[in-house]
C-alpha cells in the first residue's frame, strides 16, 4: 500500500504527513465527546498503534495538556520508536483528572509554565508545533491576553519551532494568521463556516491543520461515494491544508482512514 504523502509547513523545514494521529484517547476518557465509549489502551497496545501509524506514513502526532496524561505517555513511549516524529501540542487548557473538568488560563505566565511542563513530559528540548488551545474566545485570547505573542517569544528562545492556535471562530482564525504560522480549524462535510480562514491562509502562505474532519463521527451520508473519502476530497482540495488530525485507537479505523485519504488525493 502507498504511504501517505507529506506537505511542508511554509517557512519551516517541517514536512508533515497529510494525516496526523490525535492522541486524546491515549490519555483521557472523561468529558470527551465521542459517540461511543472506549478504554484507554495499555502501553503495549499504544506502542503497536504508534508503530502502525509510522508504517502507514504518519509522522505527525497531536497531543495537549488537556488530553489527560497523553503527553506523559508519549514522552515515555516514543523513545521506544526512535523515528523522526513531529509533535504538535497546545497550551491554555489544562485537564483536572480528579474533577474531570478543564480550566483555561491564557496569561503569559500560565502559557510559559504550560510549555515548560509539556517539554518535560514529552522529554524534548523543543516542541515542533505549539498551538493555543482556545476556549472559543479567540479574539480576546489574541488581543488582550497576547497569547500568540507569548508563544512567539518562546519560539525566539528556541523552545518552539512553529506557533499557532486551535481556533473556534472565523475572526480568531483570521487574526491568528497575521501573528503565527498555523491555524487549526474545523472543516468537514457538515460544517464549512471557516472556509475563509483556509482561503486566507493560502493567500498568506500559511498552513492549516484540520480538526473534526469526520464531525466527531456524525458525518452526513453521501449517496454517491464513501462519506469519509468525500470529506477528504473536499478538505485536500485546499492547498493550504497541511494535515488532517484524526484521533483513533482502533488499528482497523487507522488503516482505513489512511487508505481513504490516499484515495481522495489520487482522485483529485
Beta strands at 241-247 and 19-22: parallel, antiparallel or unpaired: parallel
Q: Which single residue is written with the C-alpha cell 509554565?
A: 113
Please tell me the distance from the alpha carbon of residue 22 to that of residue 250, in angstroms, as a whole number.
12
Q: How confident is the model at residue 1 (pLDDT cuts 50, 70, 90)?
A: low
pLDDT digits (tens, 9 = 90+) for 207-229: 999 999 988 666 777 666 788 99
| Residue 201 burial (10 A CB sphere; 0-12, 13-18, 19+) | buried
Confidence of residue 31 (pLDDT cuts 50, 70, 90): low
Q: At what angle do helices 170-179 and 147-156 cross, to 10 degrees?
A: 30
Q: Which residues contact 266 (CB under 8 A, 6 or more apart)?
A: none
Grid coordinates in use for 246? 484524526
Nearest to 131 by CA among 207, 53, 201, 196: 207
Whole-number pLDDT of residue 34: 61
Rounded Cα–Cα distance for residues 60 and 62 (Å): 7
Cβ proximity of 117 and 70 under 8 Å? no
The per-residue pLDDT for range 109-131, each reduced to its tens digit, is: 999 999 999 999 999 999 999 99
**10 Å Cβ neighbour count for 94?**
18
36-40, 61-65, 149-153, 192-196, range with the lowest pLDDT: 36-40
Fold of 6-267: TIM Barrel (3.20.20)
Q: What angle do CA 265, 171, 102 make, to 5 degrees?
A: 85
User: Closest by alpha carbon to 14, among 145, 160, 144?
Assistant: 160
SS3 109: helix
The pTM for the full model equals 0.95
The helix (run of H) or strand (run of E) holding residue 129 is strand 127-133
Q: Say if CB 115 and CB 126 are below 8 A apart.
A: no
Radius of gyration (C-alpha) of the chain in whole angstroms: 17
**Mean pLDDT calculated for residue range 159-185:** 98
Amino acid at each position: 500500500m502507498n504511504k501517505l504523502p507529506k506537505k511542508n509547513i511554509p517557512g519551516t523545514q517541517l514536512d508533515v504527513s497529510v494525516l496526523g494521529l490525535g492522541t486524546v484517547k491515549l490519555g483521557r476518557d472523561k468529558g470527551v465527546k465521542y459517540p461511543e465509549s472506549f478504554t484507554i489502551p495499555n502501553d503495549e497496545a499504544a506502542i503497536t498503534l504508534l508503530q502502525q501509524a509510522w508504517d502507514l506514513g504518519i509522522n505527525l502526532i497531536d497531543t495537549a495538556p488537556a488530553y489527560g496524561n497523553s503527553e506523559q505517555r508519549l514522552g515515555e513511549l516514543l523513545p521506544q520508536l526512535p523515528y523522526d516524529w513531529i509533535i504538535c501540542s497546545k497550551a491554555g487548557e489544562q485537564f483536572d483528572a480528579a474533577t474531570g473538568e478543564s480550566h483555561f488560563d491564557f496569561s503569559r505566565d500560565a502559557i510559559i509554565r504550560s510549555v515548560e511542563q509539556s517539554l518535560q513530559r514529552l522529554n524534548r528540548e523543543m516542541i515542533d508545533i505549539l498551538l493555543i488551545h482556545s476556549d472559543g474566545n479567540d479574539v480576546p485570547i489574541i488581543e488582550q491576553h497576547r497569547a500568540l505573542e507569548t508563544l512567539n517569544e518562546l519560539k525566539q528562545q528556541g523552545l518552539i519551532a512553529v506557533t499557532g492556535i486551535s481556533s473556534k471562530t472565523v475572526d480568531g482564525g483570521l487574526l491568528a494568521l497575521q501573528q503565527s504560522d498555523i491555524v487549526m480549524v474545523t472543516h468537514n462535510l457538515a460544517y464549512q463556516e471557516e472556509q475563509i480562514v483556509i482561503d486566507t491562509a493560502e493567500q498568506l502562505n500559511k498552513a492549516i491543520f484540520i480538526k473534526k474532519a469526520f464531525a466527531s463521527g456524525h458525518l452526513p451520508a453521501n449517496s454517491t461515494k464513501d462519506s469519509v473519502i468525500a470529506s477528504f476530497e473536499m478538505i485536500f482540495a485546499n492547498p493550504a491544508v497541511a494535515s488532517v488530525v484524526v484521533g483513533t485507537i482502533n488499528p482497523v479505523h487507522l488503516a482505513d482512514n489512511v487508505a481513504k485519504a490516499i484515495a481522495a488525493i489520487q482522485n483529485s
